[in-house]
Amino acid sequence: MSEEIAIKVRGLTTAYGTHTVHEGLDLDVMKGEVLGVIGPSGTGKSVLLRAIVGLKPPETGTVEVFDQNVTDLSGDDLREVQNLWGIMFQDGALFSNLTVRENVMVPMREHTDLPEPLMKQLADQKLRMSGLDDSAGPKFPSDLSGGMRKRAALARALALDPPILFLDEPTAGLDPITAAGFDTLVRELQSALSLTVFLVTHDVDTLVATCDRIAVLGRKKVIAAGTIEELRRNDDPWIQDYFCGPRGRAAQAGES
Ligand SMILES: Nc1ncnc2c1ncn2[C@@H]1O[C@H](COP(=O)(O)OP(=O)(O)OP(=O)(O)O)[C@@H](O)[C@H]1O
């Protein structure tokens, strides 16, 4: 991790109708870190991710990615900046009518003019990097297990070699062993590719296994950010319950 800021969010306010989700939210994601984003259900973790990547225009505030203000971009400018990140949505969001390999090729088709054979080769490479063997490429998403679908979605997020990866609940719905395998993969890829990772999760095991720092959302803002050790010393009741309640203690025991 460097001291350089990869993503800088300042004064972010988002709303749906009269419902304000974030109000004056500030957040820094440092280059090369895995930042976990946690908080009670409905505090706006997914909306924050969507606001950063331009899918939910904010009411006010700015988002800078590598010093470039991405808040007001549209058209070609937005498309260009989208090459800086890959996104793995909560449900994987694979196209069910495309093979796994074709799914990984979708961002390449949208953002590059690479020849078809090279796209196929690169897609297979991303699938292998994500822990799938060559037999997965020609299959349809429905032919894969939940864990394999998550890996395919990760391969698609990595399709354009982005420096930043957004993961929304990557281990949700996986059994603990498959989830642990996915956590290891994320950490290995982060280290091999020097990725900056923004990871929304409820899974305390995932936080312990993958994250350098954690940001806690609550009361429409980031109420705390730091390492797990730092957050364990925070006296906010939700944070105490999260890290020092039974599940947090179990994860801590697994860590030592
Ligand atoms: N498309 C939408 N239209 C209206 N309200 C929305 C929409 N998307 C999200 N919201 C609202 O924004 C708030 C934050 O939602 P969000 O999904 O970001 O929460 P979250 O912290 O990710 O929750 P969870 O942990 O349950 O996934 C919620 O009150 C939700 O109902």
Q: Is the CB of 47 under 6 A from ligand 1?
A: yes
Percent of the chain with pLDDT over 90: 62
User: Which residue's CA is minimally distant from atom 2 of ligand 1?
Assistant: 16
Neighbours of 45 (CB within 10 A): 24
> What DSSP string describes 54-96?
TSS--SEEEEEETTEE-TT--HHHHHHHGGGEEEE-TT----T
Contacts of 132 (CB under 8 A, 6+ apart): 100, 148, 151, 152, 155
- The reported pLDDT for the residue numbered 17 is 93
Residue 246 has pLDDT above 80, yes or no: no
Residue 200 lies inside a defined structural domain of this protein: yes
**What whole-number distance in Å separates Cα of residue 33 and Cα of residue 30?**
6
The domain that holds 53 is classified in CATH as 3.40.50.300
> Residue 217: which domain range?
5-66+163-255
Residue 79 lies inside a defined structural domain of this protein: no
Pocket test for ligand 1, best of 46, 206, 216 (most atoms within 8 A of CB): 46
User: Which residue's CA is minimally distant from atom 28 of ligand 1?
Assistant: 42
**What whole-number distance in Å separates Cα of residue 4 and Cα of residue 7?**
9
21 vs 55, higher pLDDT: 21
Residue 143 lies inside a defined structural domain of this protein: no
By C-alpha distance, which of 93, 206, 112, 114 is closest to 157? 93
Residue 250 lies inside a defined structural domain of this protein: yes
Number of domains in the chain: 1
Q: Is the CB of 51 under 6 A from ligand 1?
A: no
Are 45 and 243 spatial neighbours (Cβ–Cβ below 8 Å)?
no
Q: What is the pLDDT of residues 97-146, one digit of tens each?
A: 999 999 999 999 988 899 999 999 999 999 999 999 889 999 999 999 88
CA torsion 66-166-71-215 (nearest 10°) is -80
Residue 256 has pLDDT above 90, yes or no: no
Q: Is the ipTM of this complex over 0.85?
A: yes
Residue 45 lies inside a defined structural domain of this protein: yes
The rounded mean pLDDT for the chain is 90
Q: What is the pLDDT of residues 181-226, one digit of tens each?
A: 889 999 999 999 999 999 999 888 889 899 999 999 999 999 999 9
In which band, very low, low, confident or very high, does the pLDDT at 1 lie, cut at 50, 70 and 90? Answer: low
- 41 CA to centre of ligand 1 in angstroms: 8
Backbone angles phi, psi at 188, to 5 degrees: -65, -45
Residue 83 lies inside a defined structural domain of this protein: no
Residue 218 lies inside a defined structural domain of this protein: yes
Q: Is the CB of 45 under 6 A from ligand 1?
A: yes
Are 211 and 228 spatial neighbours (Cβ–Cβ below 8 Å)?
yes
**Could you tell me which residues are beta bridge partners of residue 240?**
none
Q: What is the pLDDT of residues 56-83, one digit of tens each?
A: 999 999 999 998 888 888 888 888 888 8
Residue 5: both structure tokens together: 């800021």
Residue 17 lies inside a defined structural domain of this protein: yes
**Residue matched to tokens 């004064």:** 11
Amino acid identity, position 120: K
**What whole-number distance in Å separates Cα of residue 21 and Cα of residue 43?**
7
